[in-house]
Structure 1
Amino acid sequence: MNKEKRRYTFKDGKELILGDKMVVMGILNVTPDSFSDGGHWDTAGTAADHTKGMCCDGAGIIDMGAESTRPGSTPLTAEQEWERLQTFLPVVLKESTVPVSVDTYHYENADRVMSVGAHVMNDIWGLQGDDGSMARVAAEHACPVIVMHNDKNPHYHQVIEDMKRFFDTSITIADKAGIRRENIILDPGIGFAKTR
């Protein structure tokens, strides 16, 4: 099997290598209401400790989320999310020995976090949640972007084929915005709009 190896080297010297071996993403929810660990890491001190712990445990990337996306959660405005992000992101960037991705679907915040030192964008709507602004921001920052499959109204006929069509659309959007193909990381979104 021919595996494509990708190496991302960032300005601060951190690296992310994909295709060489499995990479574990450490999840840091700085929210009070996430479905998996809401409220556990919602102070700067606990977020710093958890970041350091995940790096020590072998995480190859830390993914920080400031808004819960669990079913029934209350959406935040971009400004509400940014208030939370600007409290935690500097601490996480300082403590993490590996690249940091930020999970946001607000293009304004994607632009802000990339401008202050985040390494990877993570969009749970696969670049399809707005008018193309997320894709434009990813192209402007020339950064890796995690493009996740999701569906607000899931009615799958063949889930794999439906996911392929979704990703075809996402890649078309990415191409139109000028995102380099090697910067696109596809995520099947296990647990999002899918049952076992």
Structure 2
Amino acid sequence: MDTMGAAPGTGPNTGPVSVVRRAAAKKTVADLPTDRTLVMGILNVTPDSFSDGGRFVAPPDTVVDHESAVHAGLSQHYAGADIVDVGGESTRPGADPVEPEEEQRRILPVLEALFTGGAVVSVDTRHPSTAAAAIAAAPGPEHLIINDVSGMVTAAEMPQVVADGGVRVIITHNRGDAQTMQSRAQYDDVVAEVVAELQQIRDRYLDAGVPAERIILDPGIGFAKTAAQSWELLRHLDRIVALGHPVLLGVSRKGFLGELLARSGAPREAQGRDAATLALNALAAQAGVWAVRVHDVEPTVDAMKAVGALRRA
């Protein structure tokens, strides 16, 4: 198996990180397909994410297996993921916050190896210092996207970090942090209020100098929303697409699908929600979303190719 050099500290023994195949030319966002909805693979380097937490970070002392995380990310890349989304802090409701220094310890060696392997990477972070560190680690701004789920509580410095770095940014509708978001799921008209609040967050980035074409919107399914509110938003994705920005949709394995698929009153386990996820993502692709964020990459890529072919026919 080929190897590639990695940053000091990568892997449990700080040796070179082995890769799935020989490193390819580094892709940029401009190289990604434009004839179908893109697929973003999820790579959580966390102990507590709801579906895959603990795969690469083992409690109690949070030892990070960077080599396994890199293998998983590169496997997604070679399975067809257009973007690999790396996170070092769980954003599930109720998750404990993580200090930026710990978040960076978890993800930066992984980012550097994925860039070397040719992947376009997004970084799931609410911390401006982590976004800045990721920008510094990237080969250039076209190789990186900042994915911030903070929504209405976006850190004041984040828009300027994004503007200065020249990167794209995903802004997600949300009304709180992991500890408070679900207490704020109160709407008179969830679709209209999500649209209005996304525009408010977007305007902060425009005011900071981020070009409109570098702003991606995410309706924030499951963030400060009940299951019923998430379904209502999915019924009206066209209202989000009509705002004129690329739209990312993240429904993969989320709790509202567990509720839908419950048996004997018990929600379906996270790994048993992939078929329902795929169905919603196919419908979202028909509605014109730019990308879907998923745990199960390869079948999603196949589905997006099929929907793309149907839309072109």
Per the normalisation by structure 2, the TM-score is 0.55
TM superposition shift of 1:128: 4.1
8 Å CA contact 2:152–2:173 kept in 1: the answer is: no
Residue of structure 1 aligned with 2:29, choices 5, 10, 15 = 15
The answer to whether the aligner puts 1:40 opposite 2:55 as a matched pair is yes
Gaps of 5+ in 2: 1-25, 58-64, 177-183, 228-313
Q: Which residue of 2 aligns with 1:91?
A: 113
1:85-123 per-residue CA deviation (whole Å, 9 max, x = no partner) reads 23432223233x331010111001101101110611111
Q: 1:127 to 1:139 in 2, by over 3 A?
A: farther
1:60-95 per-residue CA deviation (whole Å, 9 max, x = no partner) reads 100000001112211012222122223432223233
How much identity, in percent, do the aligned residues show? 37
Aligned 1:1-150 pairs, distance under 5 A: 12-16=26-30, 17=32, 20-42=35-57, 43-95=65-117, 97-117=118-138, 119-126=144-151, 128-131=153-156, 133-150=157-174
Counterpart AA for 1:14: T
SS at match of 2:151: coil
| Aligned-partner Cα distance in 1 for 2:201–2:172 | 9
Q: Which residue of 2 aligns with 1:180?
A: 211
| Aligned-partner Cα distance in 2 for 1:19–1:136 | 28
8 Å CA contact 1:127–1:173 kept in 2: the answer is: no
Aligned residue pairs, count: 184
Q: 1:61 to 1:13 in 2, by over 3 A?
A: closer
TM superposition shift of 1:38: 0.2
Counterpart AA for 1:179: V
Bigger radius of gyration:
2
| Aligned-partner Cα distance in 2 for 1:18–1:52 | 19
| Aligned-partner Cα distance in 1 for 2:33–2:166 | 17
SS at match of 1:53: helix
Q: Relative contact order (C-alpha < 8 Å, sep 6+): which is higher?
A: 2
| Aligned-partner Cα distance in 1 for 2:185–2:75 | 36
SS at match of 2:196: helix
TM superposition shift of 1:14: 2.5
Q: 1:15 to 1:109 in 2, by over 3 A?
A: same
Q: Choose between structure 1 and 2: higher helix proportion.
A: 2
Q: Which residue of 2 aligns with 1:159?
A: 190
